[in-house]
Structure 1
Amino acid sequence: MVCSLFRLRRGVWQTSTIAALAFLVVGCSEGKVSQCNQLIGVANQAVTQVQSVTQSANPAPGAPGTSNANNANNIEAMTRIATAADQARTEMEGLQFSDERLTQFQSRFVAMYTEIGNATRALVSSAQASNSQGAQQAFDQLKTATEKEAPLVTEVNQYCANPQ
């Protein structure tokens, strides 16, 4: 009787241990939904930061009819946008994905944020130097970089909407 009780307890302990380990493995590994939420969360945060800056900013640096004070405010706003792009890039780079497709999306976001930050800083430099040709080039680069966002977001949303 004592031996069978010991076997029963040992069996229960082994079953409990196996169940606990399985729970930890499943609980610690992140599924596709969780990883998608992380990626989307960083992207949404970047958009929110840029929108916050642009909503409080004045017309673009060097726009006709703007004063020097407005230009200084706009340069400050553009600098904050470059900083937000750098922060988004850093946060995006810090994410770890087991899903290869999400890693590809992550790389594209990192490249886009890098391009946005660089183009924005070039625009600021050109505006400060009153270099209209340089400002136009930087603006075109910024426009090209930001145009990548909508298709990328659409692809991420389509991929993440499929739970498998």
Structure 2
Amino acid sequence: MSVWCKYIVIAPVSLSIALLVTGCSENKASQCQRLIQVVNEGNSLIDQKKGQQVITTMQLSRDLEAVTASLEELNLADPKMKELQSRFIKVFKNLSQAIAKAARALGAAKTAEASASGREKIQKARTEIDTALTAAAKTAGKESDALVNELNKYCRQAE
């Protein structure tokens, strides 16, 4: 009879623990929502600040670093979400680095003197800016678009 009493106590306690654990864990849809929110934040920063001055370009680079850090801090349990997260981290890191490089080159061009060496400095800066931003736009832009599509498709399945 005492064994039976133990089961009467253990069963409800086990059920309560199971419900507590599943009730507190995030589902796929909420993980999608959190990841999409951070990615959208980064993309809107790029849209708002593209083509602005050196100071704002450097700030954009720092802002994208912050977005990258926010992405890294997401505690995602879903394996596919983790994979997408790491790919988005790479995209935003690459964009941040390319924008920082372009901003430094733009800063160097602005301080160039009106001389032959100054013109060389400006030409070199233009080349660096074009190279950095073109490469970033091609690689990170395409990767980001593909990732957004993949994320949206995956998250639609969670609904």
Fold-level match, TM-score > 0.5? yes
CA distance in 1, matches of 2:54, 2:154: 37
Give the aligned length: 142
- Residue number in structure 2 paired with 1:80: 59
Off by >6 Å, runs of 4+ in structure 1 = none
Identity across aligned pairs (percent)? Answer: 23
- Residue number in structure 2 paired with 1:153: 148
- Stretches of structure 2 that go unaligned for 5 or more consecutive residues are 110-124
CA distance in 2, matches of 1:24, 1:53: 44
CA distance in 1, matches of 2:73, 2:58: 23
The normalised TM-score by structure 1 is: 0.75
- Residue number in structure 2 paired with 1:46: 42
Are 2:71 and 1:92 equivalent residues in the alignment? yes
CA distance in 2, matches of 1:23, 1:41: 28
- Residue number in structure 1 paired with 2:91: 112
CA distance in 1, matches of 2:39, 2:68: 9
The normalised TM-score by structure 2 is: 0.77
CA distance in 2, matches of 1:158, 1:97: 17
RMSD: 2.5
The within-5 A match list for 1:112-151 is 112-130=91-109, 131-144=125-138, 145-151=140-146
1:51: Cα distance to partner? Answer: 3.4
Which amino acid counterpart does residue 34 of structure 1 have in structure 2? S
The within-5 A match list for 1:31-70 is 31-54=27-50, 60=51
CA contact (8 A) 1:93 1:110 kept: yes
- The structure where helix makes up a greater share of residues is 2
CA distance in 1, matches of 2:60, 2:68: 12
CA distance in 2, matches of 1:50, 1:161: 25
1:28: Cα distance to partner? Answer: 2.2
